Structure 1
Amino acid sequence: MRTVRNVHERIIPAPADCVGALLDRVSAPDDPIFPTPVWPAMVLDRPLGVGADGGHGRVRYCVTAHVPGRSVRFDTTGGALGQGYHRFDVEPLGSDRCRVVHVLELSMPLMPFLQWKVTIQPVHDTMIEEVFDNIERSALGRPPHAPTRRPPRALLANRLFWARPHAVPVPSHARLLHEAVPRPDFADAWRLPLPPGTSRDPQDWRNVLPFPVRGTSDRELLVGKDASHLDFRSSIVIEDDTVTLATAVRLHNTRGRLYFAVAGLAHPCMARLMLRRAHRRLAFSTRPAGERNAGASRP
């Protein structure tokens, strides 16, 4: 077994009570400090408190200690990264300053240890520093003096492990698509989750496919093109926590059927690729949580 101890800390020029109030909102719908949607959100099965269970991404843990406004500890419950804990602490340094500390301690076998060193640690280090950035944004009302730079290894891991679309039936509420192509010769749909902070406005998803807009509604954007051999329409459908790219094709003649016999083989791959690229691009262009969810925690 190998032991990992990883410590991050930062002095914040804000009262400990203010920063502690931000910490107590971690995992809440208006979480102001976890760096979503670029990195996986912390999700718990109940409000922050002892016994709450959840995690972020593939890392699973439960809350084993919580002193409101001062500290919270999470103990691992899955074996993916070994056994141990991570915790946040807020330490007062006077009336208008405090120290925020994050400690991670894990015991793990050799292979997970190597995985930690190569791929996970750069992501972990970046995420924690971005948590501190968001604390500064939310507590002080301004960006940090030196925002965290995402190292190449962290960005590579982010790209490789980004969520991948999965096939679903064409949504029944894709009204624009169903009206445009009521009896398609081909139809499919691909879906991704929408993490906290990602835009729910269909107009912001306009660049998923480079085709003319054929219709819009509050939760749907329709694009498409007509040709002599086929017509197609693709629809971006937004629900509360998912985005779906649905496509319908109508073939006109033998040329259209021959063309789509080939193009249809590449279509699922291209649809998944375009949706995934747009999903990640929008996540990276979203305002940080410390700006979106600053709330009333500022002094």
Structure 2
Amino acid sequence: MRNVHERVLAAEIGRMAPLLDGLGGPDDRLWPSPEYEPLRLRGPVAPGVRGTNGPVRLHVSAYEPGRRVELTTEPGEAIEGRFVWEVEPVGPGRTRIRQISEGRLSGALRWLWPLVRPQHDHCIESMFDRAEVFLGLSSTPTPEPPLARAMARAVDAERARAVAVPETPLLATALPRVDFSDAHAVLARPGMPTDPQVWADALFHDPPSWVVGAMGLREALVGTVGIARSGESTFGTLARTDDEVLLGSDEGHLDFRASVLREPDRVVVSTVVQVHNARGRAYFAPVRLVHPMIVRAMLTRAAHRLSRRARENTEVGS
């Protein structure tokens, strides 16, 4: 496999140095995150520094400050090869940026490459788009091919998973007694919102359609047994800190709290419930079976939507 992309930019080569030298770092201005799995190096760019791109392990194999960065995959990866970013002057005030990916594919990747390549191509072209934005140049974002978008959803998308309930000040005093608790988390890529309220809004204001349908069924049933419909109660923000929002509602049958916690590299949604009576126990018995699936679906969707919104905001800024 050999894949080459290049673009000529109307800028002096010296202005490109921060882009290459910051590759894989906390302030990476070139890699298109959160849309794609971030490139993470365990230190400033220098020969021998190791890192990851999603599940792929790699290291810096060559480096010329401001001019060239070469990453090589570790032995045993599905692709054994190198990835190179380099810049060169091509005239007064003009610089060519080039990206080279080459190597030997093994395992399932040999057969999947035709499906993966559109996503790879779009990732690299999006890097060039970000370079233009960084340089203050006019940029038309590279359209995302439908196959690349489908692969991102199927392979590259972050999915929420069950985790231990974190100990936070807001959760510690959320309810007098906790009869049920669980937590789910999703990885938050660089560039995604850090405000927990933004995540809370994305979670509860735009759930998956099947969750909306399930809530509609709940609405149709609960009124018949004397439990308030959602239109008869509120589910709003009760308290917040810089990194956590606590939401909830109090009902005759049970009290419910949801914590949305923004940690440096993930978002955790925790649920705690206090059941008041037999009616609450009867109601919550079936709800607790589907609750984890619903929360994971809502959190996964929120991560996808906020990732997409982050890219759209970058495009508007261009």
After TM superposition, is the score higher than 0.5? Answer: yes
How far apart are 1:265 and its partner, in Å? 0.4
Other-structure match for 1:297: none
| CA displacement, residues 67-106 of structure 1 (integer Å, 9 cap, x when unaligned) | 1111111111143433111101101012300111111111
Shift in CA distance, 37/143, structure 1 to aligned 2, threshold 3 Å: farther
Pair 1:165 & 2:160 matched: yes
Shift in CA distance, 136/290, structure 1 to aligned 2, threshold 3 Å: farther
Pair 1:184 & 2:155 matched: no
Q: Greater helix share, 1 or 2?
A: 2
**Counterparts of 1:181 and 1:260 in 2: how far apart (Å)?**
17
How far apart are 1:110 and its partner, in Å? 6.4
Shift in CA distance, 225/10, structure 1 to aligned 2, threshold 3 Å: same
Counterpart code for 2:7:
R
The secondary structure found in structure 2 opposite 1:171 is: coil
Match of 2:191 among 193, 197, 208: 197
Match of 2:131 among 113, 130, 135: 135
**Counterparts of 1:268 and 1:132 in 2: how far apart (Å)?**
40
Match of 1:5 among 2, 7, 12: 2
Other-structure match for 2:118: 122
Counterpart code for 1:248:
V
How far apart are 1:135 and its partner, in Å? 0.6
| CA displacement, residues 4-32 of structure 1 (integer Å, 9 cap, x when unaligned) | 11111101111111113321111121111
Counterpart code for 1:278:
A
Match of 1:58 among 49, 55, 59: 55
Other-structure match for 2:64: 67
| Residue pair 2:23, 2:45 contacting (<8 A) in 1 also | yes
How far apart are 1:242 and its partner, in Å? 2.1
How far apart are 1:108 and its partner, in Å? 2.0
How far apart are 1:203 and its partner, in Å? 1.7
How big is the alpha-carbon RMSD for the aligned residues of Structure 1 and Structure 2?
2.2
| CA displacement, residues 158-200 of structure 1 (integer Å, 9 cap, x when unaligned) | 1123122232222211x22332213211001112222211111
**Counterparts of 1:142 and 1:263 in 2: how far apart (Å)?**
53
Match of 1:224 among 232, 248, 255: 248
| Residue pair 2:25, 2:43 contacting (<8 A) in 1 also | no
How far apart are 1:208 and its partner, in Å? 1.0
Counterpart code for 1:169:
A
Runs of 4+ in 1 over 4 A off after TM superposition: 287-291
**Counterparts of 2:242 and 2:69 in 1: how far apart (Å)?**
40
- Written as runs of structure 1 = structure 2, the 5 A alignment for 1:1-299 is 4-109=1-106, 111-118=108-115, 120-139=116-135, 141-144=136-139, 146-161=140-155, 162-173=157-168, 175-205=169-199, 206-210=201-205, 211-286=235-310
Counterpart code for 2:285:
A
How far apart are 1:123 and its partner, in Å? 1.4
The secondary structure found in structure 2 opposite 1:235 is: strand
**Residue ranges of structure 2 left out of the alignment (5+ in a row):** 206-234
**Counterparts of 2:241 and 2:71 in 1: how far apart (Å)?**
43
| Residue pair 2:78, 2:107 contacting (<8 A) in 1 also | no
| Residue pair 1:134, 1:289 contacting (<8 A) in 2 also | no
**Counterparts of 2:107 and 2:167 in 1: how far apart (Å)?**
49
| CA displacement, residues 34-75 of structure 1 (integer Å, 9 cap, x when unaligned) | 001111111112210111111211222211111111111111
**Counterparts of 1:154 and 1:42 in 2: how far apart (Å)?**
18
Shift in CA distance, 134/101, structure 1 to aligned 2, threshold 3 Å: same
**Larger RCO (alpha carbons 8 Å, 6+ apart):** 1
| Residue pair 1:219, 1:238 contacting (<8 A) in 2 also | yes
| CA displacement, residues 226-263 of structure 1 (integer Å, 9 cap, x when unaligned) | 22221211110122222110001111111211111101
Shift in CA distance, 11/273, structure 1 to aligned 2, threshold 3 Å: same
TM-score relative to the length of structure 1 = 0.89
